[in-house]
């Protein structure tokens, strides 16, 4: 029997993202997607600092952002749509970090 090793840092991050999604999904009875209210709760609780960091005067409202992420237009965010948000925020943060200190590696 093979020994199960500890998760890698990347595996841990993936597990954490799924856990956060599950924490907010399902409060309305359907745990495979985020409703508008669940999305608002997620944004206001989990991303309030980052939202202030990346916000500018041209940013749409939170619900407009959800509408853009909702690729299949079902009024809900499923895991792939949720991860599009996370990926976009990660890219924005990465770009900001590179501009702030271009010679430093972020590890």
Q: What is the pLDDT of residue 57?
A: 38
Which one is predicted more confidently, 5 or 52? 5
**CA distance to 5, 23, 102, per residue, from 35 (Å):** 36, 13, 39
What is the structure's pLDDT at 66?
87
Residue 56 or 87, more confident: 87
Check whether 34 has a pLDDT greater than 50: yes
- Over residues 22-48, mean pLDDT: 90
Residue 77: per-residue pLDDT: 95
Higher model confidence: residue 104 or residue 82? Answer: 82
Can you give the pLDDT at residue 58? 47
Quick one: DSSP state of residue 74?
Answer: S
């Amino acid at each position: 029997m093979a020994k199960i090793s500890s998760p890698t840092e990347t595996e841990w991050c993936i597990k954490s993202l799924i856990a956060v999604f599950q924490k907010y999904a399902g409060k309305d009875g359907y745990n495979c997607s985020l409703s508008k209210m669940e999305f608002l709760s997620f944004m206001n609780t989990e991303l309030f600092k980052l939202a202030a960091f990346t916000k500018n005067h041209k940013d749409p409202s939170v619900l407009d952002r959800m509408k853009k992420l909702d690729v299949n237009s079902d009024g809900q965010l499923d895991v792939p749509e949720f991860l599009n948000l996370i990926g976009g925020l990660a890219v924005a943060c990465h770009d900001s970090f590179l501009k702030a200190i271009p010679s430093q590696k972020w590890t």
